Every structure is written in structure tokens, then in C-alpha cells.
Amino acid sequence: MKKSGVLIIGHGSSSADWVKLVDHAVGQLDLPVPVVTCFLELVEGRLIEDGIRQLESEGVQRIIAVPLFVASGSTHIDEIGCMLGVRQPPESDKQLKPIETKAEIVYCPPMDDHPLIEEILLDRAKEISTDPASEVVVLVGHGADEGTYHARWEGLLQRLAVAVRKRGGFKGATYGTLHPDNLHMRARAVSRKNRALIVPLFLSEGYFTRQVIPSRLQGLAYAYSGKAYLPHPHVAQWLEDVIKRALYA
């Protein structure tokens, strides 16, 4: 049998605290194979090719690649797939070349609406809730302006809104996105008659959760903690679940 290893791929950030949160989550894993965390950009010495070479140096011949991303609607999911040689580059970016490796690549799905991710969002909503029967949850995703990526985001947000409403006993749940820019409009419609609970779909707190989302909600009444997925323990549990499914498939 081929020796397996795990490559966990985050977007990357210039913030050391952002990277530490990712490393802490990965550090909680209990797996019988080598695990390397790398990033698409911004973290020098820990890019995707660096991670692949590290696993190769440990004799890994089968790489379980896990994109630590919120949604399949991210263009980065396909970009990483192209770099791993498991997806074709889009017509708009034929210059994107796969990283050379002899290892077999098993490319796993991102977080999307995995049951553990639903639990994170439900917990974030409950943390700012006072009376679910009179509250409407507004999920906030990055979104995408058009095409397949837009459709993926819409489908994901619709499914998560239904799950959060049902499981949390809330009066309602809806969603808004930054792309297309419809968050203010949708949150305003909710806040006219209900207490709006704003819950972001972002891996970690940062520019989008601290600045962009509040700026889009100016003038509205709402409850918002700004908490993202990390450092919720379910992130590590999600990683372990996805990895073990691929390892023992």
C-alpha cells in the first residue's frame, strides 16, 4: 500500500495570529499519518509546493489534500485543484500549471454544509440570541458575483439558513453576501420587524468580519459578535472526519 500523508491547505494571511489559529486547530488532530499545513499565499516557506515537498521527503506517496475553506463557491477551490493537478485550469487562466509530483492526490471537499459546520453556525447564533422565536438569523457569506461560483454560494447559503432556523427554533433565517453586495438590503428587511442576528461564514476573524461586514450594516439595528469558525473545536473535528473518510475509503 502507498504511504499516505495529509496536506491541509488554507488561504493564508499576513496576520501571524490568523496563521496561529489554523495551526492550533491542526494541532488538535490525532492521525496515524504525517500532516502538513500549507497556504495558497502570503505565508513564506509554507506554500503548497513546500507542503508537497515536505510530505515527499517523509516518503508519502498518497496525499490527502484538504482545502480549509468555507465554501465550494470560492474560486480558490478550483485554483488549488489545478495546482494539485486534479482539475483543469479555466479558460481565463491557462497559465496556471500543476505542481510536479509523483504522489497520488486525493482532493477533499471544503467545509460547505457539513453537519459540524452547521453546529458552529448554530452555536454562533445562540451566543447572541435572547429569544429565538422573535429573531431572524442573517448568514453572511463572501459570495460570488456570477456563474457557477455564484450558484454554489446560493445553494450553500440556502441550505444552511434552513438548517439553522429549524435546529435553533428561530423565527426565520436568511442570508446576504458581499458579492453581489446585497447584505444591507436583506438585513434591513429583517431588522424592520425582527431582531436580526448577523452570523458570518468566515474561517477566522479579520478584515471582513471586523470592518467590511459592519460597514455594510451601518444604520441598522442588529446583534453581532463578529465570531468566525475558528477557534471553535468543531473545525478540528471536521478536519479529522474528512481526512479519515479519505484515508479509509
pLDDT (mean) for 179-195: 97
Residues belonging to the chain: 249
115-165 per-position pLDDT tens digit: 999 999 999 999 999 999 999 999 999 999 989 999 999 999 999 999 999
Q: Which CATH number is 4-111+232-247's, of 3.90.1260.10, 3.40.50.1400, 1.10.8.60, 2.40.420.20?
A: 3.40.50.1400
Percent with pLDDT over 90 in the chain: 94
Residue 163, C-beta contacts closer than 8 angstroms, at least 6 positions apart: 113, 118, 122
Quickly state the pLDDT bin for 249 (edges 50, 70, 90). confident
**What does pLDDT average to over the chain?**
96
How many angstroms separate the Cα of 228 from the Cα of each of 56, 119, 210, 223, 224? 33, 13, 10, 14, 11
6-26 per-position pLDDT tens digit: 999 999 999 999 999 999 999
| 4-111+232-247 and 115-224, same CATH topology | yes
Q: State phi, psi for 240 to the nearest 5 degrees.
A: -65, -40
Nearest to 35 by CA among 231, 205, 242, 249: 242
Nearest to 127 by CA among 54, 226, 217: 226
CATH class belonging to 115-224: alpha beta
Residue ranges per structural domain of the chain: 4-111+232-247, 115-224
pTM of the full structure: 0.94
The answer to whether residue 92 scores a pLDDT higher than 70 is no
The answer to whether residue 91 scores a pLDDT higher than 80 is no
**Coil, helix or strand for 29?**
coil
pLDDT (mean) for 63-90: 93
Quickly state the pLDDT bin for 213 (edges 50, 70, 90). very high
The answer to whether residue 95 scores a pLDDT higher than 90 is no
